[in-house]
Structure 1
Amino acid sequence: MQSVIVQPGDPARNFSLKDQNDKTFDLYEQAKKRSLLSFHPLAWTEFCAAQMKSLEDNLDEFTRLNCIPVGISVDSRPCKQAWAKSLGITRTPLLCDFWPHGAVAERYGLFREENGFSERANVIVDEQQKVIFVKVYPVHSVPDIQEILRFLQGTA
């Protein structure tokens, strides 16, 4: 059964996940900053690589806009660590929604049960832990990072 996709205005659902460097990211510990939760289906795929590299390439602008971008997929930490290294991602947390498998994606209504991975989606959470932006993209596409940056600039 597919859960309902989180909507703007909803309270963000807290979670804690390890990143590729074994550092814990807890959403509620990011209070006073905005968070971009950039869900992607699987590491080692072309579209996901481009999506995560766009976060890394624009990290300084995200920081200027008081936003922490993170990638989230169902891959394990060793997988994410090797993938980040291969892509040259050194500053952007790539979070592991590995076990329970896809639990965070499920909490946000973005888990594709039939595929065993999340939708490709961007969710922005504001400083008060409210969802302010949600967009689901075709799986075989790369989200427009400029659209996200424009949205953040307009709400700064």
Structure 2
Amino acid sequence: MAIEVGSQAPDFELRDNHGRTVRLADLRGEKNVVLVFYPFAFTSVCAGELGELRDSLPTFVNDDTQLLAVSNDSIHTLRVFAEQESLEYPLLSDFWPHGEVSRAYGVFDEEKGCAVRGTFVVDKAGTVRWRVVNALPDARDLGGYVKALDAL
């Protein structure tokens, strides 16, 4: 079960598609975070969702907000995917230990071995203020993300 709105977002340390370490704790007190879990790179629904985020990037990457996308792919896969899709925001690898962060957020599908489509809006204090969790085939609506950020 996904973590509840109002709870403290589990901290994590993951490597991005360029091999840089990203820590949620480093953003506390500085930025709101839109944390987007997606199943796999190079799949049509994932590419579509991440492309929509790319096309609305100033809404999700600015002085107050940082977008972080997380999958269980390796950093090497994510690097190629980001280049192919022109994704200019961090794609984080929850590859090893496999799905550890996805599990902490309650969005890891043990049977499929990947994250489901979970999004969490985390405020500057590190509290989850909004969430949506969809099944693997169901794309999310970015309008919900925008409303949640506007409410902060």
- TM-score (normalizing by structure 2): 0.94
Task: Give me the whole-angstrom Cα distance separating, in 2, the residues matched to 1:18 and 1:9.
Answer: 27
The percent identity for this pair of structures is: 30
How far 1:141 sits from its partner (Å)? Answer: 2.3
Distance 1:132 1:154 in 2: 9
Which position in structure 1 is the counterpart of 2:133? Answer: 136
Give 4+ residue runs of structure 1 displaced > 4 Å after superposition: none
Partner of residue 88, structure 1: 86
Match for residue 36 of structure 1? 34
Amino acid at match of 1:19: D
Q: 1:56: which partner in 2?
A: 54
- 1:67 alignment partner in structure 2: 65
Q: Say which of 111, 116, 130 aligns to 1:114.
A: 111
**Which digits, 9 at most, give the CA deviation of each residue in 1:97-151, with x for residues without a partner?**
0000000000111110000001111011110011111110131122111221122
Q: Is the 8 A contact 2:129 2:148 kept in 1?
A: no
Deviations 1:11-45 (A, max 9, x none): 11100111111111100100121111100011110
Structure 2, gaps ≥5 residues long: none
Give unmatched runs, 5+ long, in structure 1: none
Q: CA deviation at 1:63?
A: 3.3
Q: Is the 8 A contact 1:55 1:92 kept in 2?
A: no
